[in-house]
Structure 1
């Protein structure tokens, strides 16, 4: 592998991780408050710098063949687990992810940890919006569908296999 190809691969992998980290920071900032999200980001960056400075040179001392074997084995184990879950979900034997429900649960948990409010730049504080509050975990409002209705809706949205005569 050439140096340029290696650089491009590592750079793109780092960009993916940076986008994921940014997404987490944005979610924490909008769901809870910006001060704690930015403080957490600063602490995480400082810890990362310290780890890289302390352990970076030690990576050169590791035997490359053993490192490749360990990393490849871990990728294989996790990959087989993810494949198993994907096959179970595609076959209908495992429930599909409901990302909206998961987001609502996490947002409700973040807002309750912040005292039920998230800061707004204009007013200082605001209450959670009614549409998000009605989706919180344990809500018994008539507007939120029951778990069985959500399951049937999800299963109907998947394309069915063509039937043979």
Structure 2
């Protein structure tokens, strides 16, 4: 049994799975799992059962964009929601939010350097930096939980309901 807080245990397991996929060269599956983990943490953080795009954007804004904007190459919470929808629903960079002009298309590089695009509707984001922003967000989220007993209790209750692999 782990002595880690359940949020950190969740993040550790998700990060290990993301790293495994990434190391094997499965970039799209890496993105799917990373965006799903963000979705799940947005649900864990919320006092609602359904969080949708508002919950996702709120969690991303609070824990990823506001705290580590340099890792996200200027991506907004709306851009990341659009990217999440594109990746999960079609496997493409385009999403309904992109088509409505509410988000940019995100393409992913495989390095930690900044790569620009001359097209203002396209953002190039390092897959490694996105993963680092997620890891840093986990720590910030955990710090917030440790300072709010009610939020912590709710998070623990929701995490206990998740279908997860149990460590032997």
| TM-score where L is the length of structure 1 | 0.26
Larger strand percent = 2
Larger radius of gyration, structure 1 or 2?
1
Q: Kindly indicate which of the two structures has a greater share of residues assigned to helix.
A: 1
